[in-house]
Each structure stands twice: as C-alpha cells, then as structure tokens.
C-alpha cells in the first residue's frame, strides 16, 4: 500500500467531513442545546475560582496550558498528518525564552544566569515568536520528509534540544533549571499580592488570577484553531493529509503549507511552554523530554485526531490524571503514595493513557470526539441504523472506518 | 593514533549492536509497515529478564530464556494488536506502538526503579588488547556475535523461503498474498526475529563499559532509530551501514570530547541525532531507502 493513499482510511474521516456534515445537516434540528451547553460550561469555568479550592485551580491552569499545546500539535499531526515528536522541544523554546526575556540576571549558586528583565508580556510574546521561528527553521527539513521519517527526525530534535538546554547554562540555568518570573499585565501581577484583591469576599491570589489567564488564552487558542480549520487554509491542510499529490494538483503549495502549519503549531507549543513555566514556577531541561512529546501525542490521539475540541478533552484527561491520582492516592485502589512500592500516581496515569491509546486506535480511531459524534447521532435518530442522505453518510463514515478497513481483507484473509 | 584506533574499534562494536537493533526495526517495517516505537522497551525487557533470571537459573539459560521472553513479547504484540490493524494508516500504527511502549516501559522502569541491575557476564571485566589497542572483551564478543547474526540473517533473507516470502510481501503485499504467501505469518516471524535481535543486542549493550541494566538502557536503544532511519527504513543493508555510522560517530564524539567541548559535555549522546538530521537533509529517504514514487 502506498503511503500517499494510506492516511485516507482512519484519521481522515474523523475531521472535516464529519464536522462539516454534522454542522450542515443538524442545524435545523438541534436548536438550542449546544449553545446552552457551551454557555453553561463557560459560566462554570468563569465562576470556578469563587468556589473551588486552590488545588483544582492549579490543576486547571496546567490543563489550560496543555490544551493550548495539544491544539497546536493537533493542527500539525491530526489535521495535516505530520507525525511530530518534537513538540516538547518547541514547548521548551517557548518556556526558556520567557524566563530568559523576563527573568532578571543574577547568580544562583555557581551558575551565572543572564536575563533581560523585560515585562512578562513581552517575554510571552517573544516566547511564542521564537518557538514559531524554531518551527519555521525546522520546517524545510520537515517538508522534505514524509510521514514516518519526520516522526523519527523530530525525535532527534527533542534530544538535541535537551542537550542544548543542559549546556547553555547562562540562559537555561543548566541542569537545575531556573525559576520563572510571575506574569504581569500592565502593572497587574498574577501573584499572591500586589495588588491584594478580594472579589465578593474571595481572596484572589495567584491561583485564581492564573486560572483566568489560562482560560482566556485557551479559549482564544481554541477559537483560532477552529476558525483556521474552517477556512481555506484549513481545508488545504486537510487535503494535504489525505493526499499530497491531490493537494498539489488542486493548487495547494505543499511545501509552503507544511512550513506554515509547522509555524503555527510551534507557536501554540511556545505559548503552552510559557504557561507551563508559569504553572510550575520554574523550568528545567528534564521537563521537556521525550515523555512530554509522547504525552501530547497521547492527548490528541485520545481526543481524536483532527478535532479541536477533542484535543482539549484529551489534554484535560492526560494532564489532569496524574495530578488527580496523586491527590487521591490514598483513596484509590492500586495507586499508592510515592515510596510505598505500589504503583504511584504518575505510573498509574501512564498505564491508563498508554492503554487508552492502544484501545482507541484499535476500536475508535476517532477518539473521544468520534465517540461523542457517535452518541450524538444515535441520540438524534435512534431508529435509523443506516444513514441515507449523502451528507449523513459522510458523517457516519466515522464508525464505518473500522469496518471499511476489512473490505481489503479478502486478499489477505487467507493469510490469517 | 592509539586513541584513534581504539575509538574506531569501539565504534565498530557499538555500531554492530546498533545495526542489530536497526535490522529488527527495518524488517518489522518491511513486513508489516509498522514503525515500531516499542523497540526501545523490548530491548529493555530483554535486558531486564536476562538480568533477573540469571540470579536463579544461571547466565546462559537466562540468556536463552530472556531472548525467548522478548521474542514472545514481540510476537504477542504483533498478534494481538498489529495484525488486527492491517491496512491502517502508517501514522496510526506508529502511534499504537507508542502506546504499547508507554505501558511496557512504565512497568519495566517501575520494576527496575533506580537500581542498576547487574548482568553477570562470564567475560565481565576482562579486556582484550590487539597490538596497542584495547577493547573490553564484552564488546569484542558482541562484535563477533553481531557479525555472525547479521551474516546468518542476510543469507536467510536472500535464500530461505521465509526470506523470499518476506521480500515478496514487502515488494507488493497483495500480489504476494495471491501467490499464497501468508502475510500474517511473515509479519509475525519478522516481529519474532526483531525481538531476538533486540534481546541479543541488549545482552551486550548492558555489559562493559556500561554499568548494567538501568532505565538509561532505553535511551541507548533509542539511538538505534537514527541508525535505521539514516540507512533508509526499508533497506536491510542500510540498517547495517547506518548502525556502523552511528556507532562510529558516537564513539568519536565521546572520545574526542575535549576537542569539541564547545558543543557541550555529553555531546556523544546526541551526535546520532545530529548525523541523522544532516543525512536526511541531503537524502530525505535515508542513504539506501527507496525513494517514494507517486503515481497519479
């Protein structure tokens, strides 16, 4: 089977046709449910800091950061079909740029750190831009490589990046890392005080302030990605995934689009890196290892390749799981606190999402987004087993994709 | 000069081991279109089981058992998961193997913890001197074993009916199936062989000069990926050349560390990736990989 046609099987069906079909077909019938749900979710998210304790707010901020990163990787891997394991590297570029630009010069122990001490907003912007630049620099290599070669080449980027982080001590703090300056916006710091703030009797400390920052950025990322996918470039990217030849025949400049999607994706990663630095409060080279890249891959696979909302769901699942496990280690069976010999929280989470990746690819290549679409369809017309109109059949091909693969089987059926 | 020769020798021996791993990687790709990211943890599995078993059953039985365990694991992965996904996009297949890798690796690292398990090689600690050049006996034996295995592999690949079936199915799976070649069996066998090769490589990779089995063995195994890629993913000869190139590059970069200090300490560990990216820039399908042609 040639690689050019291969990706048309599973991943394809998840993204564009499903969404386009759903939107155009169901608009008359589904009236208010969706906007109401979205509004309710927003209200809950907006009010959360007034009711929820700090742990959940901090977890939430980490999740917002992960959502931004996952959406970025999803544009690259899910929508455009470029397998990238380099996401951790771009996260690192963003995070390090932020701490370098906004951090103060000074020495910690033996290490002499340099920093520009500029306002954090500039640090964030520079972080995003530099990550984008790194992506742009890598993209000529990426554009030449096909599919799986890119996957392994980008693997290299992670290791090279880690080496640089460990070596370039004056900027990165070397092996021990360096602390990230608090974010501030036009004099308003996202820290515990300065100014002290009480809203409706609730103290607004660092966690509460960061929550809103994360929420706004994650929302913006989400909306941007959705609009991008529905626009002309978005269609071009999806065509690129399905067939580069077809794309170039239709007038899509393959190299340029690959470069651009790398740029956008790594800018997302850069922003996510900045948020990560803010959420942890420091950056160290070991936070940007291969494992991180794999986590992001897990997020988008779980959520559903090509689906923006899916990426957000996947990010929620993968990034919150270890934290939640850690917190409830005592209450959960099988999971134990660190140092007790059992399965610790991080391991339990890894087992879970490792297994989830395997199961999802095997049984529901559409991921959580695909599952959701399936339920939604079933709920809408329970009687109809087979879709009739051409639009719906494009929609339904999500769950047909598992059955459409074995249609090649007869030739190979004798073999098993 | 002595240093140069010694680095050369060590590089070749390391490269031979990388070539073993890369070969497994390549035949899996040829047989089942899967880029197996599980290879690192399979290798760790081999090393771990050899180390653990040799306490109870002795070294050589442990080697045999460890190899069998690794091969069985590879076989199971192929049967239970990969075989069911035939025809899925290459990227999905790669992601599945990443999922398997997460599970396997997490469990192995949990078991190993922060220990360094010792593998009691009978040849441990001894070293060999050829002229003025020294090499650890472990590496010398590794080179020999790897050379033998590679030769056996290439002969089998060319002349045995399995080799013919394998090449035929890589060339054109559908036609091969119509000719009565059982693609499922070919792919299962490829995974088993890859498992065996990985276990053998693991046996020597955790010997001198490496201290023993630790989580770090996984990172070592990962460096065989560049070897397979830069040779060309679908070229067995390329895996050999790639392995040797990577081994030599790593050995020299580590040996002449002081001269290239401006690149940072431990540059030897990343030089495989640098070489890989450099090669891919010039030849996007690796040195010997078939260029992908698209028919419209």
Query: Do B81 and A356 lie within an 8 Å CB cutoff?
Result: no
Note whether residue A305 is domain-resident: no
Residue A232 predicted with pLDDT over 90: no
SS3 annotation, chain A: CCCCCHHHCCHHHHCHHHHHHHHHHHCCCCCCHHHHHHHHHHHHHHHHHHHCCHHHHHHHHHHHHHHHHHHHHHHHHHHCCCCCCCHHHHHHHHHHHHHHHHCCCEEECCEEECCCCCCHHHHHHHHHHHHHHHHHHHHHHHHHCCHHHHHHHHHHHHHHHHHHHHHCHHHHCHHHCEECCCCEECCEECCCCCCCCEECCEECCHHHHHHHHHHHHHHHHHHHHHHHHHCHHHHHHHHHHHCHHHHHHCCCCHHHHHHHHHHHHHHHHHHHHHHHHHHHCEECHHHHCHHHHHHHHHHHHHHCCCCHHHHHHHHHHHHHHHHHHHHCCCCCCCEECCCCCCEEHHHHHHHHHHHHHHHHHHHCCCHHHHHHHHHHHHHHCCCCCCCCCHHHHHHHHHHHHHHHHHHHHHHHHCCC
Digit-coded pLDDT (tens) for B132-180: 777 888 888 888 888 999 899 889 888 888 888 888 888 888 888 888 8
**pLDDT reported for residue A112:** 66
Distance CA B45, CA B260 (A): 35
A7 to B91: CB separation less than 8 angstroms, yes or no: yes
- Residues of chain A with pLDDT > 90, as a percent, come to 2
Residue B295's pLDDT is what? 62
Q: Quick one: closest CA in B to A8, which residue?
A: B89
Residue of A nearest to B227 (CA): A152
Question: Is A385 domain-assigned?
Answer: no
Which of A2-6, A17-21, A358-362, B56-60 has the lowest average pLDDT?
A: A2-6
- A297 and B98: CB-CB below 8 Å? yes
In A, which residues are within 8 Å of B238 by CB distance?
A: none
Q: Do A416 and B292 touch (CB under 8 A)?
A: no
> A318 with A302: CB under 8 angstroms?
yes
Which residue of A163, A241, A298, A303 is the best one to mutate when testing the B interface, meaning the one whose CB has the most B CBs within 10 A?
A: A163
pLDDT digits (tens, 9 = 90+) for B236-269: 888 889 999 999 998 888 888 777 777 777 777 8
pLDDT score for A338? 54
Question: pLDDT value at position A4?
Answer: 38
Minimal Cα distance from B295: which residue of A? A245
B98, A147: Cβ pair inside 8 Å? Answer: no
Q: Which residues of B touch A11 (CB under 8 A)?
A: 89, 91-92
**What integer is the mean pLDDT of A160-173?**
79
Residue A183 lies in a domain: yes
And the tokens for B81? 């998961």
Q: Do A149 and B233 touch (CB under 8 A)?
A: yes
Tell me whether residue A411 is in a domain.
no
> Is residue A206 domain-resident?
yes
* pLDDT mean over B82-102: 85
What residues of chain A lie within 8 A of the CB of B272, using their CB?
156
**pLDDT, averaged across chain B:** 85
The minimum CA-CA distance between B254 and chain A, rounded to whole Å, is 14
Residues of B with Cβ-Cβ distance to A405 under 8 angstroms: 86-88
Top residue of A2, A362, A401 to mutate, by most chain B CBs within 10 Å, is: A362
- The pLDDT score that the predictor gives to residue B39 is 87
Domain ranges for chain B: 2-225
pLDDT tens column, B224-238: 888 888 888 888 888
Res. A404 pLDDT band, cuts 50 70 90: very low
Mean pLDDT score, A342-351: 78
pLDDT at B73: 94
In a domain, A263, yes or no: yes
For an interface test with B, which of A8, A86, A159 has the most B Cβ atoms less than 10 Å from its Cβ? A159
Residue A31 pLDDT grade (very low, low, confident, very high; cuts 50, 70, 90): low
Mapping DSSP to helix (H, G, I), strand (E, B) and coil, where does residue A202 land?
strand
A27: pLDDT strictly greater than 60: no
How distant is the alpha carbon of residue B87 from its chain centre? Answer: 25
**pLDDT in the model for residue A332:** 67
Q: State residue A250's pLDDT score.
A: 84
Name every chain A residue with its beta carbon within 8 A of the beta carbon of B296. Answer: 245, 249
Smallest Cα distance from A21 to chain B, Å: 23
Check CB contact of B184 with chain A, cutoff 8 Å: yes
- Of the candidates B33, B84, B292, which has its C-beta nearest A362's C-beta? B84
Q: How high is the pLDDT of residue A7?
A: 40
Check whether A39 has a pLDDT greater than 70. yes
- What's the CA gap between B157 and B167, in Å, rounded? 8
CB contact under 8 A, A294 and B266: no
- A169 vs B231, higher pLDDT: B231
Contact B222/A155, CB-based, under 8 Å? Answer: yes
Judge: A358–B100 Cβ closer than 8 Å, yes or no: yes
Residue A272's domain spans which residues? Answer: 32-289
- Report pLDDT for A391: 40
- The alpha carbon of residue A134 is apart from the nearest alpha carbon of chain B, in Å, by 15
In a domain, A132, yes or no: yes
B103 and A350 within 8 Å at the Cβ level: the answer is: yes
Q: Assess whether pLDDT exceeds 50 at residue A9.
A: no
Q: Is B103 on the interface with A (CB under 8 A)?
A: yes
- How far does A41 lie from chain B, in Å, by closest CA? 31
Cross-chain Cβ contact A153/B84 below 8 Å = no
Residue A14 lies in a domain: no
Name the residue among B107, B182, B292 with its Cβ closest to that of A146.
B292
Q: What is the mean pLDDT of residues B172-191?
A: 87
Question: ipTM of this model?
Answer: 0.84
A3/B90 Cβ within 8 A: yes
């Amino acid at each position: 089977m040639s690689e050019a046609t291969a990706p048309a099987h599973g991943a394809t069906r998840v993204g564009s046709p499903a969404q386009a079909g759903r939107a155009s077909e169901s608009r008359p019938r589904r009236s208010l449910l969706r906007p109401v749900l979205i509004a309710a979710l927003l209200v809950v998210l907006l009010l959360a800091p007034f009711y929820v304790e700090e742990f959940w707010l901090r977890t939430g901020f980490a999740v917002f950061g992960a959502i931004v990163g996952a959406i970025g990787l999803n544009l690259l891997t899910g929508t455009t079909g470029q397998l990238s394991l380099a996401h951790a590297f771009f996260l690192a570029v963003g995070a390090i740029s932020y701490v370098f630009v906004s951090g103060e010069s000074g020495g910690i122990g033996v290490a002499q750190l340099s920093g520009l001490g500029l306002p954090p907003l500039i640090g964030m912007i520079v972080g995003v831009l530099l990550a984008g630049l790194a992506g742009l620099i890598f993209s000529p290599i990426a554009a030449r490589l096909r599919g799986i070669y890119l996957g392994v080449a980008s693997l290299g980027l992670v290791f090279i990046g880690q080496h640089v982080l460990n070596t370039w001590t004056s900027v990165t703090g070397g092996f021990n890392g360096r602390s990230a300056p608090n974010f501030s916006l036009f004099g308003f710091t996202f820290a515990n005080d300065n100014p002290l703030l009480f809203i409706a009797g609730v103290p607004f400390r660092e966690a509460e302030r960061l929550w809103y920052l994360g929420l706004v950025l994650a929302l913006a990322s989400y909306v941007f990605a959705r609009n991008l996918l529905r626009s002309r470039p978005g269609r071009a990217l999806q065509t690129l995934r399905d067939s580069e030849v077809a794309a170039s025949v239709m007038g899509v400049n393959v190299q340029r689009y690959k470069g651009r999607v790398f740029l956008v994706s790594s800018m997302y990663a850069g922003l996510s890196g900045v948020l990560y630095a803010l959420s942890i409060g420091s950056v160290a080279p070991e936070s940007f290892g291969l494992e991180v890249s794999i986590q992001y891959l897990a997020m988008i696979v779980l959520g559903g390749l090509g689906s923006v909302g899916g990426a957000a769901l996947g990010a929620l699942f993968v990034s919150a799981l270890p934290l939640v496990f850690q917190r409830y280690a005592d209450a959960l069976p099988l999971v134990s606190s660190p140092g007790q010999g059992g399965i610790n929280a991080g391991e339990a989470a890894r087992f879970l999402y490792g297994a989830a990746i395997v199961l999802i690819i095997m049984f529901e290549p559409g991921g959580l987004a695909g599952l959701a679409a399936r339920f939604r369809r079933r709920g809408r017309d329970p009687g109809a087993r087979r879709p009739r109109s051409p639009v719906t059949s494009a929609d339904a091909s999500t769950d047909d994709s598992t059955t459409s693969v074995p249609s090649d089987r007869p030739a190979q059926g004798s073999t098993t | 000069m002595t240093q140069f020769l010694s680095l050369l020798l060590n590089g070749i021996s390391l490269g031979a081991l990388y070539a073993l791993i890369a070969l497994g990687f390549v035949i899996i790709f040829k047989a089942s279109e899967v880029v197996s990211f599980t290879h690192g943890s399979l290798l760790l599995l081999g090393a771990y089981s050899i180390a653990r078993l040799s306490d109870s059953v002795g070294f050589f039985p442990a080697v045999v058992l460890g190899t069998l365990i690794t091969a069985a694991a590879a076989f199971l992965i192929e049967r239970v998961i990969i075989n069911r996904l035939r025809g899925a996009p290459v990227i999905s297949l790669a992601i599945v193997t990443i999922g398997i890798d997460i599970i396997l690796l997490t469990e192995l690292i949990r078991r190993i913890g922060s220990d360094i398990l010792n593998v009691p090689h009978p040849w441990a600690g001894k070293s060999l001197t050829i002229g003025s050049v020294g090499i650890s006996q472990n590496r010398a034996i590794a080179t020999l074993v790897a050379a033998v295995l590679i030769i056996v592999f290439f002969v089998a690949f060319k002349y045995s009916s399995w080799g013919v079936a394998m090449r035929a199915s890589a060339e054109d799976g559908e036609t091969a199936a119509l000719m009565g070649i059982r693609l499922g069996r070919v792919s299962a066998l490829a995974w088993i062989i890859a498992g065996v090769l990985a276990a053998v490589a693991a046996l020597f990779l955790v010997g001198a000069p490496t201290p023993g089995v630790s989580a770090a063995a996984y990172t070592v195994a990962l460096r065989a990926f560049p070897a397979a890629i830069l040779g060309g993913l679908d070229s067995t000869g390329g895996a050999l050349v790639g392995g040797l190139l990577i081994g030599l590059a790593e050995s020299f970069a580590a040996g002449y560390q002081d001269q290239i200090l401006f690149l940072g300490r431990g540059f030897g560990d990343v030089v495989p990736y640098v070489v890989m990216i450099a090669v891919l820039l010039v030849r996007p399908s690796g040195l010997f990989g078939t260029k992908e042609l698209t028919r419209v």
